[in-house]
């Protein structure tokens, strides 16, 4: 389903589809690894658990090149995608709650 839907519009003679091996949790955000610092980064957000795909439109290229990052909703089958030039990464909040900021195991120094 994913390949047939997304790949139907790809005119490149060769491309490679990568699938992340586990479901991505609801609420997760995915973006490309390198963002243009002149503008806000673009994200795909998982409303429910989703499968993550990276479609490399120039397999073997080592620098920025056309790619597609896609999420397949594991419940509805809805596909969200975005054009990219780099592999996907998860946008993970760090120290985003009071409980995390007060967790003794995460405090290494305090005066």
All residues at 6 or more sequence positions from 75 whose CB lies less than 8 Å from its CB, including other chains: 48, 49
**What six digits make up the tokens of 100?**
């995390």
CB 50, CB 72: distance < 8 Å: yes
What tens-digit pLDDT sequence spans the chain (111 residues)? 666 666 666 776 788 899 999 999 999 999 999 877 788 779 999 999 999 999 999 888 889 999 999 999 999 999 999 999 999 999 877 787 888 888 888 888 777
Q: What is the pTM of this model?
A: 0.78
For residue 1, the model assigns a pLDDT of: 61
CB-based contacts of 91, cutoff 8 Å, min separation 6: 28, 29, 30, 31, 41, 43
């Amino acid at each position: 389903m994913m390949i047939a839907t997304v790949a139907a519009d790809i005119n490149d003679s060769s491309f490679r589809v990568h699938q992340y091996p586990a479901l991505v949790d609801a609420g997760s955000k995915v973006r490309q690894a390198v963002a243009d610092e002149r503008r806000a980064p673009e994200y795909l957000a998982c409303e429910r658990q989703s499968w993550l795909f990276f479609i490399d439109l120039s397999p073997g290229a080592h620098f920025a090149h056309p790619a597609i990052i896609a999420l397949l909703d594991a419940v509805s089958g809805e596909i969200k995608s975005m054009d990219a030039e780099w592999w996907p990464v998860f946008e993970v909040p760090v120290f985003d709650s009071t409980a995390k900021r007060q967790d003794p195991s995460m405090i290494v120094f305090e005066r």
